[in-house]
Amino acid sequence: MLGKARKLVERALIGRSAPALAHWGISLPRRLVTSIQADGFREVVQYAARHQKFFARKLSGNGIDPSRVRRPEDLGEIFTTAEDLLTLPSEEFLCREPQAVFETTGTTGRPKRTYFSYDELDFAARYEAAALYEIGVRPGDRVVCTFDAAYWISSWLTFLACKQLGVFCSAVGKPHPKEVYSRLREYGYNIIIADPTWLVTLSEIAQVEGAPSVKLMIAAGDRMTDAYRRYVQEVWNAPVVLGYGSTEMGGGLGMECLRRDGYHIDEFNFWVEILNPDAEGYGELVVTTLARRTMPLIRYRARDLTRFLEGSCPCGATIQRIAKIRGRRDEMVVMGAGNMYPEIFEKVLEGVEGISDRWQVAVRQEGRHDILEFRVELSNGISPATVEQAVRENLQARFPDVWANHVCGMFRLALRCLPAGKLETGRKQRRLVDERSDS
């Protein structure tokens, strides 16, 4: 049974172009948005209760009657975790015969698999198209997308989204930035969609060789620091808009608008919760997919830490926003300095002269003391003492609470200089590591 609000959406969506959807998506009254969500949630819960072995077992194990579930909280301690997806066979989650599969690689190297139907991919692409339209992508533009294709979903979805908008698109996997740079003028690309680090490398080439005119850049798939964003925007003299999502979420969960202040969430297709928020509202992002039927995920724990942004965005959109991801839950370190996230150290090291962008912060233990050790590579013959002084000054000025804990003797600071290349640790470098022993 489709709920009333949801029925209205389904009707409104039939034949709806992405531009119309974009307009409609930002202008709906808040009350209607929440009612669409509530309908979607009830429906997916009842559907998964009938068709998904994993969820059905969780329901009966917790003695919960799915017909009484109205909101995520009604499910108590029922969640779907990355560990569930990694360890249980796909049949536990599949509700019908799939037509496509995508993977994400976890830190362990084992892939998490998510299955879809073609319809679901087209449906997701339509919402992505609406988001692209909203930030200014138009027919006549030329998009080059260099998200890794392989088993990842984002390259395919971007291609399908551009197709729905009638926009020229080369989704070419992830070649070396040089390959794309040499074709920028030939194909007249004016919109670049890529991973943050790839975009930075491309920008370094453009800074030396010249930057052809580009209207917009979109980055996702990794975290982009404010410093990187500013650098890329300066080189191209164009805005960098960030998107957030994952394969499990079926591509995009949200995208910034041109104001670039938080991700606008696709609340028509996802119910987002922030689990166990701290005093500032930061907690773990938990996502329920409302529209998918091949492999819906109920209360999927994304392990990313974020918070809802209060107040409405000046762009006028009525859908909620979440803050930039602060870090991964498994990257948070609780220590004498407080709750530490990689983002804190990005900010501390921003603007420090004479260090490369490869750095790591380790929490170590000496006796009963926590040591916050900054590991950096020095360049330009700068002295370690100068770098350490800059780090201390930045920490004191930018994170007074953390500094106050230092003054109280809750932790000590150390700087370790490493030879170049020592911190090169493959695809995803850990910025913050906890090396204290449990004993």
The residues of the shown chain that bind Zn ion, judged by CB under 5 A, are 257, 259, 313, 315, 317
Shortest distance, position 134 Cβ to Zn ion, whole Å: 9
Query: Which of these, 102, 256, 245, 135, lies nearest to 143 by C-alpha position?
Result: 135
Shortest distance, position 233 Cβ to Zn ion, whole Å: 18
Query: Which of these, 347, 299, 341, 291, lies nearest to 123 by C-alpha position?
Result: 291
CB atoms within 10 A of CB 108: 8
Q: Which is nearer to Zn ion, 219 or 362 (CB)?
A: 219
Q: Which is nearer to Zn ion, 321 or 328 (CB)?
A: 321
Q: Which is nearer to Zn ion, 313 or 391 (CB)?
A: 313
Tokens of 396: 């004191």
Tokens of 302: 């994304």
Separation CA 85–CA 111 (nearest Å): 9
Q: Give the residue carrying structure tokens 């930075």.
A: 200
- Gap between the terminal Cα atoms of the chain: 55
Shortest distance, position 265 Cβ to Zn ion, whole Å: 11
Q: Which is nearer to Zn ion, 311 or 426 (CB)?
A: 311
Shortest distance, position 257 Cβ to Zn ion, whole Å: 3
Separation CA 12–CA 407 (nearest Å): 60
- Alpha-helical segments (H) within 170-269: 177-181, 184-187, 196-209, 226-236
Shortest distance, position 63 Cβ to Zn ion, whole Å: 42
Q: Which is nearer to Zn ion, 124 or 317 (CB)?
A: 317
Query: Of all helices (H) and strands (E), which one includes residue 171?
Result: strand 168-171
Shortest distance, position 354 Cβ to Zn ion, whole Å: 38
Backbone angles phi, psi at 80, to 5 degrees: -115, 130
Q: Which is nearer to Zn ion, 25 or 342 (CB)?
A: 25
Separation CA 118–CA 96 (nearest Å): 13
Separation CA 116–CA 60 (nearest Å): 26
Shortest distance, position 48 Cβ to Zn ion, whole Å: 32
Q: Which is nearer to Zn ion, 263 or 345 (CB)?
A: 263
Name the DSSP letter for residue 308: B
